[in-house]
Amino acid sequence: MERNYLADSNRYKTMKYNRCGKSGLLLPAISLGLWHNFGFADNFDNSREIIRKAFDRGVTHFDLANNYGPPAGSAEEVFGSILKKDFASYRDEMVITSKAGYDMWEGPYGEWGSRKYLVASLNQSLKRMELEYVDIFYSHRFDPYTPLEETMMALDHLVKSGKALYAGISNYSPEQTQTAIQILNKLGTPCLIHQSRYSMLDRVVENGLLNVLEDNGVGFVAFSPLAQGVLSDRYLKGIPTGSRASKAHFLKPGFITPELIASISQLNDMALQRGQTLAQMSTAWLLRDHRVTSVIVGVSSVQQLNDNIDTLKNIAFSKDEEEKIRSIVEAVYFMPLG
């Protein structure tokens, strides 16, 4: 695919951009995550085509982490190589993130939330992506063994050193989030954003987290909006070859029970009545809440990407529809790993 890339001149016409909390930063309602499908193990041309198409359709926000691949780190390398080939002149139109918190390298300094790990990890990520800075750097998970002050001081340091423009946290509880926000405020580097799992099948963030963020003017991005593909038509007729569940690593086939599929079918019928795919209805359902700044989708094809971005054609729900969705998903509430 060695053709030159020129971004679509209409790219900002249809995407919706939401303010991230009370910050100056706008994020697209649909963002793209590179957890799966962008490693050395994946098809490079497909990965590149997805990034190009996303940008052509106004997706400016690309979500990465040190450990995305497989192998860990390779998604950042693949993305860096796509940036170099296609996006050298578009860097200032992109919001690129990385994170550190999970197991990344051997020994006592390769995971969690020490200053030692976070600073080393971002330095490695910048090298892999061949970037001077990331736009947002996240503490990927709360570290029960390290003082929260140390983790937040590391984020503050990385922002003040120019290696990240903003600081974020991910997978923190409402209480941990409140404390982290206070520490960062004192340091003079406000918390920009919180990233957590949120879908019709996992609504834990409704129990306090979204309120803490709104009260403090912090943005929220939802990950795994389709519960890794379950909230789409992907598994209605079994587990297709090549699908995430068929790989049986992050999404275990055992989660996809006949009871779950019966409920997913009901949701699918509802989506079709609304003139949408189920993937679109699932993402729209998240975006109907003004506290959700952006939804990070993961895709294995340009077709899925287009389908997801077309969500924005209809994100309104009637009271009846909301009630019906609530009653269907309450029966099958589950939490896929990820």
The answer to the question of residue 154 lying near ligand NAP (CB under 6 A) is no
CB of 6 to ligand NAP, least distance (A): 26
Residue with Cβ nearer ligand NAP (48 or 234): 234
**Binds ligand NAP (CB under 6 A): choice among 118, 191, 192, 279:** 279
Using CA atoms of 109, 112, 113, 115 in order, give the dihedral in degrees to the nearest 10.
10
Residue with Cβ nearer ligand NAP (162 or 254): 254
The answer to the question of residue 79 lying near ligand NAP (CB under 6 A) is no
**CA-to-CA distance for 140 and 65, rounded, in angstroms?**
8
Residue with Cβ nearer ligand NAP (114 or 304): 304
Give the pair of three-digit tokens for residue 168: 């974020």
Stretch that binds ligand NAP, among 46-54, 263-271, 303-311, 316-324 (CB under 6 A): 303-311
Residue with Cβ nearer ligand NAP (114 or 276): 276
Among 164, 74, 70, 177, CA closest to 119: 164
Among 323, 321, 207, 216, CA closest to 272: 321
Those residues with Cβ within 8 angstroms of residue 5's Cβ, 6 or more apart along the chain or in another chain: 52, 85, 86, 87
**CA-to-CA distance for 66 and 49, rounded, in angstroms?**
22
Residue with Cβ nearer ligand NAP (3 or 59): 59
Q: Is the dihedral of CA 267, 273, 279, 280 positive or negative?
A: negative
**CA-to-CA distance for 79 and 64, rounded, in angstroms?**
9
**CA-to-CA distance for 13 and 211, rounded, in angstroms?**
31
The answer to the question of residue 28 lying near ligand NAP (CB under 6 A) is no
For 134-145, give one letter per residue: b (16+ CB within 10 A) or e.
bbbbbbbbbbee
The answer to the question of residue 55 lying near ligand NAP (CB under 6 A) is no
Site for ligand NAP in 209-248 (CB under 6 A): 223-229, 232, 234, 243-244
Residue with Cβ nearer ligand NAP (186 or 261): 261
Confirm if 338 and 249 have CB atoms less than 8 A apart.
no
**Binds ligand NAP (CB under 6 A): choice among 205, 297, 325, 332:** 297
The answer to the question of residue 300 lying near ligand NAP (CB under 6 A) is yes
Residue with Cβ nearer ligand NAP (212 or 299): 299
Which residues form the interface with ligand NAP (CB under 6 A)? 33-36, 63, 140, 170-171, 195, 223-229, 232, 234, 243-244, 279, 296-300, 304, 307-308, 338
